[in-house]
Amino acid sequence: MLDLTPKSVSERSALRINPCKTCQPVGALYAALGVHRCMPHSHGSQGCVSYHRTFLTRHFKEPAIAASSSFTEGASVFGGGPNLRAAIKNIFDIYNPDVIAVHTTCLSETIGDDLNSYILDMSIPDDKVVVYTNTPSYVGSHVTGYANMLSGFIRCLADSRAAKNGGTAVFPGFVNPGDIREIKRMLALSGLSAIVFPDQSDVMDAPMTNTYVMYPRGGTRLDDIRALGGCGRVLALGGFACAEPADVLDKKCKVPYLVLPLPIGVAATDSFVAAAAEVAGRPVPVELEEERGRLLDLMLDANPYFYNKKVAVYGDPDTVIGLSSFILELGMRPGYVITGTPGEEFVRRVEALLRDYDVENCTVKAAADLFELHQWIKNEPVDLLLGTSYGKQIAKAEDIPLVRAGFPVLDRYGHSYLPIVGYQGAIRLAKMIADALMDRQDRDCADEDLDVVM
């Protein structure tokens, strides 16, 4: 079907085809799953939350729990307050979470439901908590919803009266559990004890035990979220996912923050490792220096296969910026760099990165979709696609190698377990890229050129 995508490009403002994003509640739900014993709650119809849960389940291959206000026609006309009150009581009675994290949907936002007034009017058990945020699906993307839910937790729980303890918090960005594990490992090597919020490790990658547990042992504890107000510093990884929550915490609790790029590739990981070492008051650990050296060795060894290859990068904004930086470090050349998340800040940051490497003739666009990316590629092909599973149709139609990275990866297994952040993650990325390019070379070369030694 995608063979019929036309080469002629026309500007579209009211239509997205094969979008490079999903909606805010998906990100809000994922953020809430990073809190220990939390039940995400979708204030809208059952169909909405079914889609959001399915989307996450397909990526993580794990059940994504969530409840719903189950709107019918009556709630859509007269408001969802009664539905929400009944839902909150039933959830606490039946599922017994420590916290319910409520987010809105298109429907509840359109009719103007006031979550704050509804929740203030509820009878909530003394040892339980309800937090909320607004996540209209027709604004922003899942990354926006993730940031909004983090901000909601901070507004509702972070204690501005908490005693300043000089501690550190790390907001890891919209990343996989495997990435969070790697971030925590690097923090531990740096001697830095930090509150990681949110933390989906041991939740969305919980081990198989033959017994279903609704609330696995992972996730950021409520006491740690309350203690954010006493921290001395926040390291926010990824400006699009974490800058706003860090700013909300600063305004509420006077906690300064430093926004860093997602630690993808050499330079971005260097920035994170240096910041962690500075906060910890220790030198960069030898283990991380050696990992960096191994990464550089691999990059040099495989440089003939990377050099000057043209790449199309697409996905979430923080991830795409990190991937673009890394392929430039590899000696590759971005041809198209897009995200589905709106915001011209994305364009400014990518263009600044391209200027640093004197790269010209690269198309950069926010609020873009994969249909127009396909059209661009039909006019000027690339050597590699780097992004989510949704690029596989383009890869098949145009016979281009695809390296899957970011969110979502729906058609392969294990991606959420394995990092792309840090030096170890960059080694994995470099290997995947080199493998894809070398597999293509082996497939296309003449029989006499098919060698087993490279």
Give residue limits of the domains in the chain. 24-157, 168-288, 303-412
Superfamily for the 168-288 domain = Nitrogenase molybdenum iron protein domain (3.40.50.1980)
CATH class of 24-157: alpha beta
Same CATH topology for 24-157 and 168-288: the answer is yes
Q: From CA 22, how far away is CA 410, in angstroms rounded?
A: 13
Number of residues written out for the chain? 454
pLDDT score, position 287: 97
167: left (phi over 0), alpha (psi -120 to 50) or beta: beta
Quick check: 68 and 44 in contact, CB under 8 A?
yes
Q: In terms of Cα–Cα distance, which of 326, 323, 355 is closest to 337?
A: 323
pLDDT score, position 73: 81
Tokens at residue 286, please? Answer: 């030898």
DSSP single-letter state for residue 142: H
pLDDT score, position 111: 87
Torsion angle, alpha carbons of 239, 240, 243, 248, to 10: 180
- H helices, E strands: number in the chain: 18, 13
Sheet holding 233-237, edge to edge: 194-196, 168-171, 233-237, 257-260
List the alpha helices (DSSP H) in 158-217: 177-189
In angstroms, how far is CA 293 from the centroid of its own chain? Answer: 27
The pTM (predicted TM-score) of the whole model is 0.95
Q: Give the architecture (CATH level 2) of 303-412.
A: 3-Layer(aba) Sandwich (3.40)
Quick check: 125 and 3 in contact, CB under 8 A?
no
pLDDT score, position 2: 65
Q: From CA 253, how far away is CA 162, in angstroms rounded?
A: 9
Tokens at residue 5, please? Answer: 């995508």
The 3-state DSSP class for residue 144 equals helix
Residue-level pLDDT, tens digit, the chain, 454 residues? 567 888 888 888 788 889 999 999 999 999 999 999 999 999 999 889 999 999 999 999 999 999 999 988 877 777 788 899 999 999 999 999 999 999 999 889 888 889 999 999 898 999 999 999 999 989 999 999 999 999 999 999 998 887 788 899 999 999 999 999 999 999 999 999 999 999 999 999 999 998 999 999 999 999 999 999 999 999 999 999 999 999 999 999 999 999 999 999 999 999 999 999 999 999 999 999 999 999 999 999 999 999 999 999 999 999 999 999 999 999 999 999 999 999 999 999 999 999 999 999 999 999 999 999 999 999 999 999 999 999 999 999 999 999 999 999 999 999 999 999 999 999 999 999 999 999 999 999 888 888 887 6
